[in-house]
């Protein structure tokens, strides 16, 4: 693949991510292309259709999540710490985006499956936090994951805002 083709593809993805995040899933293809400083045709050369673009973005965001979670596990020395790190990181972007895009890709594409695997991973983390006694035990892990998702995926979420803090306080054991 030629160097400039690679650069173009990256520009498309970067700008698509930004626009999808800023303005929701209805952004027009030609606007994404324009934001990347390219013609629509070039966009379509890289992604056969709108779904493919959404899929690519969703998948890479979720993969990034998985990787980040793995790294956090190495770095942090408590499940609660991992959770904090992840929440802080998510608020920077990717999970919210992936959710907002999932309405654009069909079931078969497997994005939902990937989402589920990220949820599994988080549920597992929550369970560990419950076991280590830092997270309240009266809420099923899945539900904690949903709560975290909701709070973290709201548009404009930031790691240190009151909402996140209150949520974490609500989750802490005791």
Partner DNA sequence: CATGAATGAGCGTTCATTCAT
Partner DNA sequence: TATGAATGAACGCTCATTCAT
Is 45 among the residues that bind DNA (CB under 7 A)? yes
In whole angstroms, what is the distance from residue 126 CA to residue 174 CA? Answer: 15
Stretch that binds its own copies, among 35-43, 58-66, 124-132, 140-148 (CB under 8 A): 140-148
Cβ nearer to DNA, comparing 37 with 140: 37
SS3 36: coil
Is 74 among the residues that bind its own copies (CB under 8 A)? no
Is 163 among the residues that bind its own copies (CB under 8 A)? yes
Is 108 among the residues that bind DNA (CB under 7 A)? no
Q: Which residues of 9-46 are buried (b: 16+ CB within 10 A; e: fewer)?
A: bebbbebbbbbbbeeeeebeeeebbebbebeeebbeeb
Cβ nearer to its own copies, comparing 75 with 154: 154
In whole angstroms, what is the distance from residue 28 CA to residue 168 CA? Answer: 37
DSSP 78: S
Is 165 among the residues that bind its own copies (CB under 8 A)? yes
Is 130 among the residues that bind DNA (CB under 7 A)? no
Which stretches of the chain bind DNA, using CB under 7 A? 1-5, 8, 26, 28-30, 33, 37-42, 44-46, 48-51
């Amino acid at each position: 693949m030629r160097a400039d083709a690679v650069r173009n593809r990256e520009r498309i993805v970067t700008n698509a991510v930004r626009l999808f995040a800023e303005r929701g899933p209805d952004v027009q293809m030609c606007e994404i292309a324009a934001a990347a400083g390219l013609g629509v045709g070039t966009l379509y050369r890289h992604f056969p259709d709108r779904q493919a673009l959404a899929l690519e973005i969703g998948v890479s965001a979720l993969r990034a999540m998985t990787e980040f979670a793995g790294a956090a596990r190495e770095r942090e020395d408590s499940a609660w710490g991992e959770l904090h790190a992840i929440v802080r990181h998510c608020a920077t972007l990717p999970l919210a985006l992936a959710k907002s895009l999932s309405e654009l890709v069909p079931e078969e594409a497997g994005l939902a499956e990937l989402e589920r695997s990220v949820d599994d991973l988080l549920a597992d983390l929550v369970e560990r936090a419950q076991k280590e006694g830092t997270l309240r035990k009266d809420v099923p892990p899945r539900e904690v994951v949903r709560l975290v998702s909701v709070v973290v995926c709201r548009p404009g979420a930031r790691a240190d805002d009151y909402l996140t803090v209150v949520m974490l306080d609500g989750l802490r054991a005791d």
